[in-house]
Amino acid sequence: MIFRCKAPLRLCFSGEGTDVPPFPEEHDGVVLSTAIDKFVFGTLKPTQEKSIEVKSLDYDIVAKYTTDKDLKYNGDLDLVKAAIKHLKADSGMYNIYLHSDAPPGSGLGSSSATAVAVVCLLKEWQNKPMTDYELAEVAYKVEREEVKIKGGKQDHYVTIFGGFNFIEFVGDKIIVNPLKIDMSTINELQYHLLLCYTGQNKLMGNIIDQQLQNYNDNIDTLERIKDITHEIKNKLLTNNLDQFGELLDESWKYKKQLAKDITNDQIDKLYDIAKKHGAVGGKIMGAGGGGFMLFYCEFDKKHNVAEELEKHGAQIAEFDFELRGIQSWQTV
């Protein structure tokens, strides 16, 4: 039996930074996010060999592990090694294949979706029951604590639950609140949004380090981002989408204050161009520094914004919302 899964990537409308420890433990955090139809795909194929072979189809990387000593972290497929070790699946006799619709550093949560996908494959192979919250917690520990890839707490939950979620971080508790949004509102939001790749990948760890170094100075800014996130959620639930777009703009102004490398000349240029030609608001995805940007545009000027952004090196990416979370299945 062959095990497969697909883990959706995500867009975060507001709240990044408030889910990065120690802020949520000390002040509580909130994020408003949604899954999209870009995925990390995974396959686990049992074999007769007493080894583990991992293939990254994106980067043409193949690694073979025959003993637990081979599973040392060296920057090469460490997420997979950590998941194997955490779930005690190092006895081997299977191959894992991975493919992602977006590269690391995209700001769409691809590394977290990869961690979720690998954990999902292994627990299905082991026939190990896990709730959605347990799956997210294991993937978080694998990525953040074992491999020590820096970032917030939201990504693993978004890819597992899918759809639109208002996620609360209350002390050491995480509460996922799925939002029941009318389909007409979802379609209207899709009609206004524009996603583009800046042409630059980011160094997320450096940005998180800067944010932590500025932590005490950032607390008031993070509190304001929390307030804006609540406001954006309310505008989305009440179909006040133009105000939703305006609040994206305000959220971006505060987000830029958290660390100097969140933005740069290219990002600022693209943002100014978008605003000049019909974007109401927008922001960088993820920690910042590169990757994807999201804009809310006036519906009759969205094509102008796209055209101008492409003239200046951005790449427009088509997407739709994904209302389902991670999906797994078996085949022969």
pLDDT for 104: 77
Q: What are the sequence ranges of the domains in the chain?
A: 2-180, 183-316
Q: Tell me: the pLDDT tens digits for 182-213?
A: 999 999 999 999 999 998 776 566 888 898 89
230 vs 32: CA distance, rounded Å = 8
Neighbours of 135 (CB within 10 A): 21
Q: State what percent of residues in the chain have pLDDT above 70.
A: 98
pLDDT for 313: 93
pLDDT for 202: 62
Give, as one character, the DSSP assignment of residue 156. H
181 vs 237: CA distance, rounded Å = 6
151 vs 17: CA distance, rounded Å = 9
The single residue of 19, 78, 101, 155 carrying the catalytic annotation is 155
pLDDT for 117: 98
Neighbours of 227 (CB within 10 A): 14
For residues 120-146, average pLDDT: 96
Band (70; pLDDT cuts 50, 70, 90) = confident
Residue labelled with tokens 């992602």: 100
pLDDT for 330: 97
For residues 61-81, average pLDDT: 86
For residues 202-226, average pLDDT: 87
pLDDT for 293: 97
Q: Evaluate if residue 25 carries a pLDDT over 90.
A: yes
For residues 276-283, average pLDDT: 97
Q: What class, spelled out in words, does domain 183-316 have in CATH? A: alpha beta
- Domain 2-180 and domain 183-316, same fold? Reply is no
Find residue 164's DSSP bridge partners: 34
Q: Higher pLDDT residue, 201 or 255?
A: 255
pLDDT for 57: 87
Q: Evaluate if residue 257 carries a pLDDT over 70.
A: yes
291 vs 111: CA distance, rounded Å = 13
H/E run at residue 236: helix 215-237
307 vs 156: CA distance, rounded Å = 34
Beta-strand relationship, 52-56 and 173-178: unpaired
pLDDT for 205: 63
pLDDT for 76: 85
217 vs 236: CA distance, rounded Å = 30
Beta-strand relationship, 173-178 and 164-170: antiparallel
Could you name the CATH architecture of 2-180?
2-Layer Sandwich (3.30)
Q: Evaluate if residue 67 carries a pLDDT over 80.
A: no
The rounded mean pLDDT for the chain is 94
Q: Tell me: the pLDDT tens digits for 94-107?
A: 999 999 998 878 89
Q: State what percent of residues in the chain have pLDDT above 90.
A: 83
- 66-80, 110-124, 240-254, 274-288: least confident range: 66-80
pLDDT for 301: 98
101 vs 114: CA distance, rounded Å = 11
Q: Evaluate if residue 150 carries a pLDDT over 70.
A: yes
For residues 279-296, average pLDDT: 94
H/E run at residue 52: strand 52-56
Band (147; pLDDT cuts 50, 70, 90) = very high
Find residue 40's DSSP bridge partners: 7, 100
Band (228; pLDDT cuts 50, 70, 90) = very high
pLDDT for 300: 97
pTM above 0.75, yes or no: yes
Q: Answer yes or no: 155 catalytic.
A: yes
Band (69; pLDDT cuts 50, 70, 90) = confident
Q: Are 49 and 92 in contact (CB under 8 A)?
A: yes
